[in-house]
Amino acid sequence: MSLLERRLIRETNFGLTAKIWQISWGFVLLLCLLAAVGYTALYSAGGGPEPYATRHAMRFAFGLMLMLGIALIDIRFIARLSWPAYALGVGLLLLVAGMGHVGKGAQRWIELGGMQWQPSEFMKLALVLALAAWFRRASWERMGNPLFLLPPAIAVLIPVGLILKEPNLGTAFITAVVGASVFLGAGLRWWKVALIIVAVGAAAPVAYSHMHDYQRARITTFLNPESDPLGAGYNIIQSKIALGSGGMWGKGFMQGTQNHLNFLPEKQTDFVFTIIAEEFGLVGSFAVLGLLALIVTAGMAMALRCRHPYGRLVALGISVNVFMYVFVNVAMVMGAIPVGGVPLPLVSHGGSAMIMVMIGFGVLMSAHVHRDVEADGADEEL
């Protein structure tokens, strides 16, 4: 049987209904449960369904439909859009630098369709797609060639530099880690990554000298928040109080004093996890972290099941991105790292972050639905 005949049979048998059955509905259920956690926390943050919880539910419903729609798109079509998406992402970051909306000392947003969007969120996904497209045919010999690694390295440094300029240290850090994860997934040696980490560490004093005053204050506050308890250290001190006051079982839904007496700043966005910890305690916190761990693990499992390298690298990069969201946000509210303004995915209030996370999950699901496209010989694109 010829390649063309096998492809025709595959296209006939693998129609829309078959694709719908291939969707991981268990994974979709996990996302719905996490969004329900977000709705509950935001309901408490606002003292009712408004102003946060209802919007959160509507955005998730829209994002869910978007995710399922993207999941049905052939992953090979998405692969063709990888570098155009990267170019669009860089263009949007340049647009932010030129005419972006300024808020809280940072220029990170642009107005599109009557809504504020943060292009750095789109850039992380576009970077994963571009790197996966570059490395999809990489061999061990090519991975050892510096000239082969130089273009993708530049592709990582460009958005990281533009995001640092906004400035947005947390997202820049996550973008760099996500890019490094795709390099490693493609076969880059660990010791080379270790050299890069050492080089970045050596450059840290220089980077510190070029930071904005508020960024230096965040680092100083991280080291000693009690030095300015009513100023720069206020957020993290109140966050720690809320985390500890919940005890084992929590104070109960809508009973958090740090939350409802407005001691918690940015409680609906960056510090939403503290509401969960105060009202549902250590048990509730671990339950939410367990749910997030299941989502990341499921994403990694989908990466391993892909028969083509493009899908594996895309699924890996998106899963690492979600993991870094969780790690940075939770570590931040615990005072383990400086405050970086990173939301908790599908839990924190925010439009652009929610939609981009769901689009990323849609691409991940597309890689899963079309995980066997190479098995029938139709591998000219992947």
Q: Domains of the chain: which residue ranges?
A: 52-369
Q: Is residue 115's pLDDT more than 80?
A: no
Tokens encoding 268? 């609906």
Write the pLDDT tens digit of every residue in 354-371: 999 999 999 999 999 998
pLDDT value for 214:
61
381 φ, ψ (degrees, to nearest 5)? -100, -25
Alpha-carbon dihedral angle through residues 331, 336, 337, 341, given to the nearest 10 degrees: 40
pLDDT of residue 226 exceeding 80 = no
pLDDT, one tens digit per residue, over 144-161 is 788 888 899 999 999 998
**Peptide bond before residue 167 is cis, with ω within 30 degrees of 0:** yes
What share of residues in the chain are helix, strand, coil (percent, to 5)?
70, 5, 25
Q: What's the CA gap between 291 and 301, in Å, rounded?
A: 15
Question: Average of pLDDT values for 49-76?
Answer: 93
Residue type, 122: F
Q: What gap in Å lies between CA 262 and CA 16, rounded to an integer?
A: 49
Kindly state the tokens that stand for 112. Answer: 């599109």
pLDDT, tens digit, 9 for 90 and up, residues 241-295: 888 888 898 888 888 877 777 777 777 888 889 999 999 999 999 999 999 999 9
Residues 361, 30: Cα–Cα separation, whole Å: 12
Statement: residue 376 has pLDDT above 50: no
